[in-house]
Amino acid sequence: MLIVAAGLAVSCQGYLDINKDPNSPSAENMTPDMMFPAAEMNLATSYGDYLRIVGGYFSQQYSQLTGTSNYLDYSQFNMSATRSSGTYTQLNSRVLGNLEIIRDYAEANEQWGTYLAATVLRGFTFQVLVDCYEQTPYTQALDIAYPSPAYDEGIDVYKGVIGEIDAALAKVNGGEIVCTNFLFPSATAAEWVKFANALKLKMLMRISGVENVGTQLDALVAQADFPESDIAWAGCWADEAGKANPYFSEEFGTYTSVQKNVNLNLALQGTMADYDDARLAAFFEPNSSGAYTGAISGTNYSVSASEHGAGYWCRPAVKFNTPVYLMTVAEIEFFLAEYYAKKGSSEAEAHYKAAVDASFASAGVTGADAVYGAGAPYAWDADSYMEIIGIQKWIALSGTNNFEAWCELRRTGYPAFSDQNGSDFYNVQSGDYDVTSYIPGTLYTPITVNANLGAKKVLQRFPFADSSASRNENTPDYKGDGAAMFWAK
């Protein structure tokens, strides 16, 4: 088993936005076999830990632990310019910076399988940056000629990335060798082609809400060359410091400074418990009494800590070897269900059911019929397909990819907010906790919420990271916490 700890990853040295010197010694001395695993583990750390945590809070899948304050701001839908700075720098320097060196090397040596792999991970990383900030350096990023690179609009970054992926795909037939990597060990470029297609599907589906990309989508779907198993870093984690799942290391591991802040949120628990969804027990541990209880956004319950202490709430079921998911079969099938539903095609229902089936399979449980069977609460209904898909995608992603759950919540508008407030379920003064009035399949306004948003609204974007904004004179004006992303307008 080969492990590259994120903290040991090789990275370009330079300006934080991040520009690459083509004459850097690292470009001469490092090979893709050495650098690709390091880039992967840095992406796994950022995407599979920090962005998983904040995504869970912003999508009301997670809530705050009694008496602690580490993530209290997230549970209130707040994000500061400093909170994401480390992740922003890591994604740019240790991920994009290294991948650019790999792409240069692979292109120069006509290693087109490696070139495709690096291009796909580069595209995925830029997609993540756009979905956090919308505007991000792209055309001038990683170029030493631009010490203060311009920020590109999110839709232009999406289109640019898709163009890069298409160009890389045109150079392979699927049998090419790919450098050492954790995602598809020993696999040829064929697996990366499938990943590329899945990433394109996600990005095109998001663009389709604001521009007509029907021709591209039709051609992509007609190829029917998507992953048949979840795309995840799995089988590469060990139960020791620096080698475990990064989210487990921060929140659960005994070999690091453990935070122990994340709990199951009432919105998710109440929705899944409404029809005894078997995935609840797969995604979360029961509390100390063997029950499943949902905590409330916007408070840390300090008044009633004795009654609603740490043991009262449920923690995510994460182990040292839990995979770090990039895309799942369920996520892909949900996009296909939406694609066909928009066309009025009867194929939508089959893909919807396939998505739920895939989610249950990933969780290792059975009982999908409780979701979509006759009389089930989320049986297929072509007239309300977006609501059904949106809520079920939110549930499926709660156990695999919380960041994407936040993205899709913003895009689809589901689950929608009810008129309820967290104070309807928890009284901060008395400590009374009563969730019997919660409406399944809905979100609620946190007890204390970001004042820039107000009631019934979720955070739409991150402020520009301080590690960039404080140094780059081309940083745009921030559009505001409630300004919708381009794909959610």
Q: Residue 300's pLDDT band (boundaries 50, 70, 90)?
A: confident
Q: Using alpha carbons, list the distances in angstroms from residue 429 to 68, 417, 432.
A: 17, 25, 8
Whether the pLDDT of residue 55 is over 90: the answer is yes
Is 253 in contact with 240 (CB distance < 8 Å)? Answer: no
The confidence score (pLDDT) of residue 379 equals: 98
Average pLDDT, the chain: 92
Domain ranges of the chain: 28-247+254-272+288-327+446-477
Does the pLDDT value for residue 27 go beyond 60? no
Q: Of 301-305, 423-427, 466-470, where does mean pLDDT reach its minimum? A: 301-305
Query: What DSSP string runs through 4-57?
Result: --GGG-----S-TTT---TT-HHHHH--HHHHHHHHHHHHHHIIIIIHHHHHHH
Q: Give the pLDDT of residue 306.
A: 66
What would the pLDDT profile of 310-364 be if each residue is shown by its tens digit?
889 999 999 999 999 999 999 999 999 999 999 999 999 999 999 999 999 999 9
**pLDDT, tens digit, for every residue of 93-104?**
999 999 999 999
Mean pLDDT on 29-37:
90
What is the reported pTM? Answer: 0.93
Gap between the Cα atoms of 333 and 353, Å rounded: 9
Model confidence pLDDT, tens digit, residues 143-173: 889 999 999 999 999 999 999 999 999 999 9
Residues contacting residue 488 through CB under 8 Å, at least 6 positions apart: 209, 410, 411, 460
Q: What is the DSSP letter of 152?
A: E
For 273-289, what is each residue's pLDDT tens digit?
999 999 999 999 999 99
Residues 399-439: pLDDT tens digits? 999 999 999 999 999 999 999 999 999 998 888 899 999 99
Neighbouring residues of 295: CB distance < 8 A, sequence distance ≥ 6: 63, 64, 65, 263, 264, 265, 266, 301, 313
CATH 1.25.40.390 assigned to domain 28-247+254-272+288-327+446-477? The reply is: yes
Please tell me the predicted confidence (pLDDT) of residue 28.
Answer: 53
